Amino acid sequence: MERKRTGYKLAGLCLLGILGNSLTVLGALEIPGLAYESSMELQYAENFSVDYYEGGYALLSIQDEEQFLVVPEGAPIPEGLDGEIEVLQQPLENIYLVATSAMDFFASLDGMDAIRLSGTEADGWYVEAAKEAMEDGDILYAGKYSAPDYERIVAEHCDLAVESTMIYHTPEVQEKLEEFGIPVVVERSSYENHPLGRVEWMKVYGVLLDKEAEAEEIFTEQTKKLEEVMESDHTGKTVAFFYISSNGYANVRESGDYIAKMINLAGGNYVFQNLGENDNALSTVNMQMEEFYAGAKNADVLIYNSTIDGELTDLEALLSKSELLADFKAVQSGNVWCTTQNVFQETSGLADMIMDMHEIFTDDTGSLNKTTYLYRLT
């Protein structure tokens, strides 16, 4: 079946040369025996690209470092293929999924049946489809990223491992998986500068699962949800996003972190505007409570990140973490919120999280108590 494409034909193709059946086009890699057709159009993502070739082949490039040729079911692997390009033959089955942020993409694309192995145990999942699949035995625990159960992974005939960037801390694990003939895709959506770039990574899994049209549809739905929010006036509300660590530090996001950018998209101002110089879209810092007090005491809204140490039941539970919080403006005005624990695992719902924030920032009556991913602490 011809692959459905969500890309665009390059206008005015610049032909550099023809070698046999292979067409070389400016910006596209020449693959022996395959003719380049088009490239996927991306709106926000900057850390991957997809080029399409005649016959339904797709070249997935991640961060200009890793490349994978996705070969349609029943199609031959091109002869003379560059040895640096990993081959992913569809259908991909018995996937070992370690990157928790990717699970929701599979669930949204109705691709859970492609996953057989998990790097997270059942009680660590907040994506209900994953939790249920593990409880039913459809997905098996195969060890965390640093200590995979190689015997189980090989026995289950794993076609692909989807790892988080934590794998870079244990390169020997990736090497071992590849020794067993298991390609490794590293999920890098957290490196995207724009929050919607993270959501656009759904298209990567659309390519792997041959569900590009479905991925494009879901991504478009998410972006359309935000059109009104992104066009609305800035509220001017100042916002702190944090949690209190077990050793009493306030853990906050650096200014360039995607959460800070989500707050801005929702119409708020992140209180720590000049914190850190790291351009990584996922960056946090621990600060002494006195420093946090100085920077966030007068914030209009406090949002507590519950994904680290669990959801808080009420405002008293938060105040028990530090008596200094009682002096905060948001505490005294009753504008303290807590995230649900599934907020980061449900990656495809990121637009809904931004809408939740916008609702909070524009609620002048104080009547709002719960949104999809946030609830008020009282």
Which DSSP string do the residues of 19-47 spell out, in sequence order?
ETTEEEETTS---TT-BEEEEE--SS--S
| Tokens describing residue 41 | 């159009």
Asked whether 299 and 329 are in contact (CB, 8 A), the reply is yes
Q: What is the mean pLDDT of residues 243-253?
A: 94
* Cis-peptide, bond into residue 32, ω within 30° of zero: no
- Return the bridge partners of 241, or none: 303
Question: Cα–Cα distances in Å, from 115 out to 7, 141, 229?
Answer: 26, 11, 35
292-308 pLDDT, tens digit each: 999 999 999 999 999 98
* Arithmetic mean of pLDDT, 108-134: 97
Residue 239 pLDDT exceeds 90 = yes
Q: What is the pLDDT of residue 11?
A: 35
Domain 95-187 has CATH 3.40.50.1000: no
> What are the domain boundaries of the chain?
7-82, 95-187, 233-376
- Same topology between domain 95-187 and domain 233-376: yes
Is pLDDT above 60 for 187?
A: yes
Where is average pLDDT lowest: 12-26, 77-91, 322-336?
A: 12-26
Reply yes or no on whether the pLDDT at 151 is more than 80. yes
Predicted confidence (pLDDT) at residue 345 exceeds the cutoff of 60? yes
Q: How far is CA 161 from CA 128, 255, 274, in A?
A: 21, 32, 38
How confident is residue 364, by pLDDT bands cut at 50, 70 and 90?
Answer: confident
On the question of pLDDT at 282 being above 60, the answer is no
pLDDT surpassing 60 at residue 202: yes
What pLDDT is attached to residue 277? 64
Specify the range with the lowest mean pLDDT, choosing from 224-228, 282-286, 294-298: 282-286
Residues 6 or more apart whose Cβ sits within 8 Å of residue 158: 94, 95, 96, 116, 117, 182
Q: How far apart are CA 214 and CA 110, in angstroms?
A: 9
Interval 49-78: pLDDT, tens: 999 999 999 999 998 679 999 999 999 999
Residue 169 has pLDDT above 70, yes or no: yes
Which pTM does this prediction carry? Answer: 0.87
Reported confidence tier of residue 10, pLDDT bands at 50, 70, 90: very low
Q: What is the C-alpha separation between 95 and 321, in angstroms, rounded?
A: 41
- What architecture does CATH give domain 233-376? 3-Layer(aba) Sandwich (3.40)
